[in-house]
Amino acid sequence: MKKCGRRRRGVVGGPRRILPPPHLEKRVTEEEEEEEEEGEEEEMEEEEEEMEEEEEMEEEEEMEEEEEEMEEEEEEMEERE
């Protein structure tokens, strides 16, 4: 019998996926998981470093602003005297 024009593409006559044997597949997934964990750890470390740098920059800016305010106050005090 003919199949009503339905044809699943990629299954019949298409390229076939070659899968590793099951016992090797587990090893590959374990290695991939380890690599993913290492990548995630590196990303977390980079994010922490970026956050620290941003905090340091903010602190420096705040210190500069405070110094400018102090200088302005000193100048005002001198002008009053």
For position 11, what pLDDT does the model report? 55
- Residue pLDDT tens, the chain, 81 long: 555 555 555 556 556 666 666 666 676 677 888 888 888 999 999 999 999 999 999 999 999 999 999 999 998 888 877
pTM: 0.44
What is the C-alpha separation between 81 and 78, in angstroms, rounded? Answer: 5
Distances from the Cα of 50 to the Cα of 42, 53, 54, angstroms: 12, 5, 6
